[in-house]
Structure 1
Amino acid sequence: MCGRFAMDKETDELIREFVISEGFANIGSWRPAWNLAPTDPVPIVIESVKGDDGPVRRLELAQWWLTPTWSKVLKLKAPMFNARAETAASKASFKASVASKRAVIPATGYYEWRTDADGTKTPYFIQLPGEIIGMAALYSWWADPSKANDDESRWHLTATILTSDAVDQLVGIHDRNPVPLPRDWWDHWLDPTIVGDQDLLDEAVRAALPLAETLEFHEVAPVKGDGPELIAPLD
């Protein structure tokens, strides 16, 4: 699973990294963060089609906790910050997003906790040193039913991170890891004109495997507060 991650890039860096279309970066007062948790607003990269101009790539802020369009409340009781790549296409909460609302969530790295036999939890920071991890994700627009149709504030962008079975070197920490898409897969994954299904999810996991096998990790201090010191190796 992925329950906390870091994103230490400024808006301009993300625009350059993901080649965001001019005028389509809408992440407001975003600032780098090293302790992003479920329900926090996080930067995501999506593509949408407007008119006959073809897909437009956008950088947006989304709640990290996907809310399907049919939900009556913004935050469901079930944990919706991760989606299993093996089953997402068949789940009512995710299948519409698999079909046409796929995203990339950029991360400097993510945290995972190893649970020892005595119940002790040891935090690790997992990363691709010097590179952004483009985590495969899904998104959904949720409309607040309590607000008028013409009220722009009724719309909430929400997202979830796809996970798969952990690669061998990470199994000792946790049995799941995010799906880190290679750069040459970003365009294909984001393309809203491609109708996604379970085959696409399986293909993405296979494409991500070589990159996942290069992930590195180190133990860190307890993940509390925020700041670059959180990802520093424990002395």
Structure 2
Amino acid sequence: MCGRFALDDKVNQLITDFVMSGGRLDDYVPASWVPSWNISPTDRIGVILETKKGDAPPQRRFETAYWSLIPSWSKEKKLKFPTFNARAETAAEKAMFKPSVVSKRAIIPANGYYEWQTVGKTKTPYFIHPPGDELLGMAGLYSWWADPAYDKDDPDRWLLTATILTADTVQTLADIHDRNPVMLPRELWEHWIDPTVVGDQRLLDEAVAASLEVASGLEFTRVGPVKGDGPELIRPLEQEG
């Protein structure tokens, strides 16, 4: 699973390099982003997506979304079960996620994510991240939800929501947890978010297969309790003091 992650201001360079290079909108202003090292479900997360209207070319942009996907047909914001993750093995057949698999896919950038290794009653937090200064591109799905509490002509009525796909973990991370987010290599980002590509289980399987090399190259460091916020949360315990 992926239930907590970090994203600092390096995403600003990603917006310049990747987002603004793909179908720039003349009036597009990137969504404001506040760095956080303790992003939890229902927080706002950064997402990269592409939309297409009519014969116009797809337009790529960076937005912020509510982290827990709410399907367009839901009458309530709070669902009976968690939707901040979606299993890549079944998302294409679930009514909750299937429409998003078809044409509403996103990249969710992160410096890394947290996972807790459980031994007996002891849970030890680890920060799992790529080597060097790279950002992860986690495969996500998104949906627009209309809040019935607002009038139909109120622009605040529409809420962008998102989920992160997960798969069986790679061997190098198996001792920490049995699931990990699906993380795409940079060369596949454009294909993943292309709304003209009709998504199905085959596309999800391809994403999982491509994720294996990325996931196998991740590093993991033991960290202190993941409480509060700040860059100190991802500092290895060995460096404390």
What is the TM-score with the length of structure 2 in the denominator? 0.93
Q: Distance in 2 between matches of 1:168 and 1:25?
A: 41
Residue 160 (structure 2) pairs with residue 157 (structure 1): yes
Shift of 1:141: 0.1
Q: Distance in 2 between matches of 1:4 and 1:36?
A: 5
Shift of 1:212: 1.0
Q: Distance in 2 between matches of 1:134 and 1:12?
A: 14
Q: Distance in 1 between matches of 2:138 and 2:16?
A: 17
Q: Distance in 2 between matches of 1:33 and 1:136?
A: 19
Corresponding position of 1:7: 7
CA RMSD of aligned residues (A): 1.2
Whether the 8 Å contact between 1:26 and 1:60 is mirrored in structure 2 is: yes
Letter in 2 for 1:183: R
Q: Report which stretch shifted further, 17-26 or 61-70.
A: 17-26
> Matches of residues 1-235 of structure 1 in structure 2 within 5 Å?
1-9=1-9, 12-20=12-20, 21-22=24-25, 23-28=27-32, 30-117=33-120, 119-129=121-131, 130-235=133-238
Shift of 1:15: 1.0
Q: Distance in 1 between matches of 2:102 and 2:5?
A: 26
For structure 2, the 5+ residue unaligned runs are none
Provide, for residues 71-118 of structure 1, a one-character-per-residue CA deviation record: whole Å limited to 9, x for no partner. 11112120100000000000110000000000000000000000102x
Shift of 1:10: 5.1
Shift of 1:24: 3.1
**Secondary structure of 1:42's match?**
strand
Q: Distance in 1 between matches of 2:139 and 2:11?
A: 20
Provide, for residues 170-209 of structure 1, a one-character-per-residue CA deviation record: whole Å limited to 9, x for no partner. 1100000001100010010000011100010001101111
Provide, for residues 21-42 of structure 1, a one-character-per-residue CA deviation record: whole Å limited to 9, x for no partner. 35434423x2211000000001
Letter in 1 for 2:13: E
Letter in 1 for 2:218: L
What is the TM-score with the length of structure 1 in the denominator? 0.96
Whether the 8 Å contact between 1:65 and 1:75 is mirrored in structure 2 is: no
Whether the 8 Å contact between 1:10 and 1:31 is mirrored in structure 2 is: no
Letter in 2 for 1:122: T
Q: Distance in 1 between matches of 2:14 and 2:113?
A: 17
Identity rate, percent? 62
Q: Distance in 2 between matches of 1:83 and 1:47?
A: 20
Letter in 1 for 2:72: T
Q: Distance in 2 between matches of 1:126 and 1:181?
A: 15
